[in-house]
Amino acid sequence: MDGEINGDLIGLAKQIIIKGRVNGDVRAGAAEKIEIQGEITGQTSLSAAKIDITETAHLNKDLYFFATSLNVGDARIDRDLSGWAQQISFSGTVGRQAHWRELEGKNNFLTVFPSAKIGGDLAYNFTNGVSLSEKALIGGKTEQLAKPEPEKKSAGEKFIAFLWPLLIAIFSSFLVGLVLIYFTPALIAATDRGGKNFWPTFAHGLLVFFACPMIALILILMIIGWPLGLMLGAAWLAAMFCGRVLVALAAGRWLGKKIPWLKRRDGGPNRVTREMAAGVIVAQILFHLPYLGWAFSLAAIWLGLGIIWEKIKPQNQSEKPA
């Protein structure tokens, strides 16, 4: 940007260079670089991989930054300079306070050159690569802040943090399962097929998992097909959740053959409900395991989508039951 802007400047781009004067606030974000060469009369908030404030820059108020690298040359910032970065090089002038916080990363450093002038306090929490010139003029105190230690949880707090979302998942899945049992008995009956033809059912579910969102996106981009695309996307999301419940029911039916309490011969919805409850509990525990839970959950989604697809897909006349 070259010239003069009377008002605020808000921008998002790959690179932003401000050479002129902005009579207002600047709020800018860039994927690669932001360079300030001119004058900004208002507040300045910048976020980028690299931020350069050159020697010709003059910021009349505060500068807030979030960057991988911040380089402030012999520029003038009339008020505060605050923000987060991995690397900071400073040789300019700040009228009031400078508060700099370190982002986690490699090759971090903080360098304050002899020409630097800070009117108030300098506070930072960098621990490695810190170089503060003794010739730099700092009007207030210089303080190295301690980094906050991660909060340590007791064994009981960790157990509650694991148990609470698990209980929510169990009861929400059980509720969905009840709806499926009483309103879609044909779909419930299809859970047996998933066990007898595991790999074909799993492959069908894998195909549906990837094909549905792609088809929905194509329909939305066609403009006239956006209502159908949104409905297909919503159905896909609902089918993934219901599919996991169906897989839990299939697991419960397998457990029903092994556990006497589940093998009671009262039949009907009561037995299916017990099997579903047992399967949901076991499945959700597997889904919430550290490190492996996501894999069990994803496999259940694929298998569940396959069960649903094999039930609703069009059948040839020869495939229809007599």
Q: What total of structural domains would you count in the chain?
A: 2
> In this structure, is residue 320 part of a structural domain?
no
Give the pTM: 0.56
CA-to-CA distance for 263 and 283, rounded, in angstroms? 19
CA-to-CA distance for 115 and 91, rounded, in angstroms? 5
pLDDT band at 107 (very low <50, low <70, confident <90, very high): confident
> In this structure, is residue 112 part of a structural domain?
yes
pLDDT band at 322 (very low <50, low <70, confident <90, very high): very low
Q: For 66, left (φ over 0), alpha (ψ -120 to 50), or beta?
A: beta
Quick: pLDDT tens for 2-44. 889 999 999 899 999 999 999 999 999 998 999 999 999 999 9
**If you average pLDDT over residues 197-212, what whole number do you get?**
91
Residues 106, 138 share a domain: yes
More confident residue, 177 or 106: 177
> In this structure, is residue 321 part of a structural domain?
no
Residues 123, 10 share a domain: yes
Q: What is the pLDDT of residue 286?
A: 94
> For the chain, what is the mean pLDDT?
88
For residue 307, report the phi and psi dihedrals to the nearest 5 degrees.
-65, -45
Tokens 């009579």 sit on residue:
23
Given a cut of 90, whether residue 159 has pLDDT beyond it is no
Q: What is the pLDDT of residue 266?
A: 57
Q: Which of 90, 114, 144 is the last residue of a domain?
A: 144
Q: What is the pLDDT of residue 238?
A: 94
Q: Which of 144, 166, 184 is the last residue of a domain?
A: 144
The identity of residue 143, as a single letter, is E
Residues 159, 45 share a domain: no
Tell me the DSSP string of 70-104: EEE-S-EESS-EEEEESEEEE-SEESS-EEEEEPS
Domain limits for position 280: 155-312
> Which one-letter DSSP state was computed for residue 10?
E
Residues 124, 175 share a domain: no
> In this structure, is residue 319 part of a structural domain?
no
Q: Which of 144, 175, 209 is the last residue of a domain?
A: 144
Tokens 């700099």 sit on residue:
100
